[in-house]
Amino acid sequence: MTSSTRSAPTRTPHVTARLAARVRAVAEFIDRHAEETLSLARLARVAGMSGSHLQRRFKAVLGVSPKTYQDGARLRRLKSGLRAGHGVAAAIFDAGYGSTSRVYGEAARNIGMTPSAYRAGGAGEHIAYACRDTVLGPLMMAATARGVCFAQFGTGAGALLAQLRTEFPRATLSPSGAQAEPALDAWMAALDAHLGHDDPRPDVPLDLRGTAFQIRVWRFLLGIPSGHAVSYAEVAAGIGAPRAVRAAAGACAANRIAVLVPCHRVLRGDGDLGGYRWGLARKRTLLARERAPGSAGA
C-alpha cells in the first residue's frame, strides 16, 4: 500500500475542542463505572447529547465505540485486580463481568491466557524459547501452545531471556530443542533464513496478546505486503478508526513480535522512518531488503 495506491480519505465527523472534552468526560465516567451496565442512553445523558451523536463523536475522538471502550476498561480493571493478588472470582465480578464462563472466553482472547494464569504471572503456562545470532543481531523467539508470543532483538541471549521473564514472570520457560520443540526450532530457523538469506517471511501461528485495539492494529499490519509501507494515519483508517492515529502508533510501538508482525512497514506521514522499538538501523535495513529487486519478501 504505497502513496500511489492510497484510497480517498475517509470522511469523519468534525470534532471541536469542546466536543472532544465532552467525549473525554464520558470516557472518564466509563472508567469510574466500568463494572456497571452502561447503556448508550445513560452515557448520552452524561454527555448532554443524543445517543447517535455521542456514538459518532466518541468513535471519532477515541477510535472505538463506547461499548468497546467499556470492554477495555473492564479488562484493565480485571488485570489490575489480578495483579494485586485478588482472588480470580472476586476480580472477575469486581470488574463487572456477569459470570466466570463469560470472562474466561472474552478476557483470555485479550490477555492471551486464562485469568488465573495471568494472576499468577503466567504460572501453569509452558513457553519454549530459542535464540540465534542474525544479521540484525541476537534475536529470541518464544512460543506457547497457541503460537509465537515473543520475538525480539536485543544485545544478547541473557538480556533477551530477562525480558522474556519480565513479560511472563511465573511461566515455565525452557530452551527449545529440536526433539522437544521441533516446531519452534523450525520457525526460528525459517525466520533466521528470512533475515539472512532473503527467504520468504515464515507464516507461523501467532499468540497475539494485547488490547482489542492493539490486536486490530497488529492484524492490519499482517496484511501489508512486503516492499510496501503505510503511514500511521493509514493504519488508523484501515482499522476503521481514522482519528486514532496516536493510538495506532502506540500499538505499533507495543508490538512484541518483531518482523513476523511487520510494524517496521509503518512510517510517518511525511515518509520519515518514525520509531522502532528495536532501533531505526534495523528498521531501515528491513525496509531496504524488502524493497530490493528480486526480494522474496513475504
On the question of a common fold for 17-119 and 126-197, the answer reads no
61: cell is 475522538
Give the model's pLDDT for residue 207: 85
Beta bridge partner(s), residue 153: 139
Give the model's pLDDT for residue 63: 74
Q: What is the CATH number of domain 212-291?
A: 1.10.10.10
Fold of the CATH domain 17-119 = Arc Repressor Mutant, subunit A (1.10.10)
Residue where the block lists cell 519480565: 166
- Counting other chains too, the contacts that 211-215 makes at CB distance below 8 Å and 24 or more residues apart are 211/72, 211/75, 211/110, 212/64, 212/68, 212/71, 212/72, 212/110, 213/63, 213/64, 213/68, 213/72, 213/241, 213/244, 213/247, 213/251, 214/251, 214/254, 215/110
Q: Which tens digit of pLDDT belongs to each residue from 208-247?
A: 877 778 888 998 998 888 888 999 999 999 988 888 998 9
Fold of the CATH domain 126-197 = Double Stranded RNA Binding Domain (3.30.160)
Q: What are the boundaries of each domain within the chain? A: 17-119, 126-197, 212-291
C-alpha 69/C-alpha 51 separation (Å) is: 15
C-alpha 192/C-alpha 238 separation (Å) is: 30
pTM of the model as a whole? 0.60
Q: Which tens digit of pLDDT belongs to each residue from 26-44?
A: 988 988 887 778 899 999 9
Catalytic residues: 263
Give the model's pLDDT for residue 162: 94
C-alpha 197/C-alpha 33 separation (Å) is: 53
Question: What are the per-10-residue average pLDDT scores of the chain (298 residues)?
Answer: 38 62 88 83 91 86 80 72 59 56 47 52 76 92 88 94 87 75 78 79 82 85 88 92 90 93 92 90 92 62
